[in-house]
Amino acid sequence: MAHDDNSSESEPVEVTELLGSEGGQWAVETLRSRYLFDLELQTVTRAPGPTARLTVNDTTRSIRSIKSCEVGYRGYWIMETDKAEVAYYSQITSLIVKITRLPDNVEPGQSAIETSHVITGPDARDE
């Protein structure tokens, strides 16, 4: 995890990569959607942008593993399933453009994603 050590507590902390062990809540912005990672509860919630396709992952899911979550690359993570006939869910995102730690005053499980904006690109498709 790389970030600016000169930032104050009131400034948002941006990192270039999430590994899953950082703790706290993180907003991961892609070209077309936004993801809220609650690393205290080990969950991820997808909030599709206005032009993104809706998917089975547009809900809160428990994280099995984060394979890749780095600015400048597509994200890839594995999530638990809620169906006996499905082994797991996976998410491959569009290009990650920003990863920001959310304020600590958000309780674990309380979604801060509704108060944040979604970055949208010129392409109307999301993966």
Query: How do residues 76-104 score in pLDDT, each as one tens digit?
Result: 999 999 888 999 999 999 999 999 999 87
Give how far the C-alpha of residue 23 lies from the chain's centroid of Cα atoms, to the nearest Å. 13
Nearest CA among 62, 56, 46, 60 for reference residue 94: 46
Query: How do residues 39-64 score in pLDDT, each as one tens digit?
Result: 999 999 999 999 899 999 899 999 99
β-pairing, 33-38 with 43-48? Answer: antiparallel
Which of 20-56 are b and which e, b meaning 16 or more Cβ less than 10 Å from the residue's Cβ?
A: bebeebbbbbbbbbbbbbbbeebbbbbbbbeebeeee
Nearest CA among 75, 53, 57, 55 for reference residue 65: 75
pLDDT recorded at residue 28: 97
Asked if residue 121 has pLDDT above 80, the reply is no
pTM of the model: 0.76
User: From CA 96, how far away is CA 25, in angstroms rounded?
Assistant: 17
The set of residues, in sequence order, having a beta carbon less than 8 Å from that of 118 and lying 6+ positions away, is 29, 32, 33, 34, 47, 48, 49, 50
What pLDDT band is residue 107 in, cutting at 50, 70 and 90?
low
User: From CA 28, how far away is CA 12, in angstroms rounded?
Assistant: 13
- What are the structural domain ranges in the chain? 14-103
pLDDT recorded at residue 119: 38
